[in-house]
Structures are given as C-alpha cells and as structure tokens.
Amino acid sequence: MILLNNTFSTLNSREAQQLPVTPIGSRWVYKTKHNADRSTQYKAWLFIEGYEQTDFNETVALVGKLTTFRCLIPLIGKYGLNIDQLDVVAAFLNPAIDDDDIYMTLPERRPEGLNAPKLVARLTKALYGLEHAPLLWPDYINACLLSFEFNQSCADPNL
C-alpha cells in the first residue's frame, strides 16, 4: 500500500521481520490554526524521528548569502524586473530517495495492552525530520532549474 503522495510504501509482516536494519520511529505533529476570518484549520505532519538514524553523519543547512540578495535587489530595480517570494508546499516530500533503503515504523494509536504488530514502511521520498532531507531538496530543485537552462552561480551555489 502506498500512502501520502507516494512518500512511503508499507511492508507486510514477513518483509518487516526480515529487515537488515532497525526501522526508525515516526510521530504525528498536530497544529490548530485560527485564521483571520475566524475559521479554524487542523493540520498534521508526519515526522520521522531522524535522531535515531545511525547511518548518516552529515548535517546540512543550505542558506543563500545575504550579500547575494543585496546585489540582486539593485539589479532588479535597475532593469525594472519584478520580484516574488515562493514557498514550495511540502518541499521535503518532492525528492525521491534513490540510494538508501530507509525504513520507519508508523505511529501507533491503539488501546493499551493490544499486541498488534507495528506497521513498517519503506521511504520512497524524504520526510521532515530525516537527517539528509535538507540535502535532497536542493539537489532536486537544482536539477529542475538546470533542466530549464538556468545557470548556477559559482560565487553562491544557492543562486
């Protein structure tokens, strides 16, 4: 079974018992958002407990340089260009995980004392909380932008 925008696929109990690694835990994070029009939105995110990962030792946080932004603003004004802000919805859920087999146990909601087996899933895309999710997204978006014949700056790789 494939769920959540093809983010993961669940394993049957036999496959789950034969895994070469221990699956990483996961949890739901809930938020209630109150809008200006007094309506209410309920949001939920599935986070993998990436701190349990033992096979990945890098931490990545790619950020554009402030100097680059300060150079772009005058150029935008000089040439009469428009500038827009863009927020990619569910950015971490876009890139596929190709090279690693990452397994997680799905969060449980069951009564105390019930010995139901834990559901195990194989990740096919990055999830929030995964140690190398911040590295997969820039690689993914860079490949997309390069396919549209954009050029990457040597001075600032985020431009």
Q: Within a 13 Å sphere around the CA of 143, how many CA atoms are in the beta-carbon half? A: 9
The pLDDT score that the predictor gives to residue 13 is 77
The pLDDT score that the predictor gives to residue 117 is 64
The pLDDT score that the predictor gives to residue 71 is 87
The pLDDT score that the predictor gives to residue 32 is 93
Q: Comparing C-alpha atoms, which of 99, 102, 97, 94 is closest to residue 122?
A: 102
pLDDT < 50 stretches in the chain: 1-2, 111, 113-114
Cα angle value 102/8/136 (rounded, 5°): 60
Can you name the residues that pair with 122 across neighbouring β-strands?
A: 9, 103
The pLDDT score that the predictor gives to residue 137 is 81
List Cβ<8 Å contacts ≥24 apart for 114-120: 117/13, 117/16, 118/16, 118/23, 119/10, 120/10, 120/11, 120/15, 120/16, 120/19, 120/23
Q: Supply the pTM of this predicted model.
A: 0.67
The pLDDT score that the predictor gives to residue 79 is 94
The pLDDT score that the predictor gives to residue 111 is 46
The pLDDT score that the predictor gives to residue 112 is 54
The ranges assigned to domains in the chain are 2-147
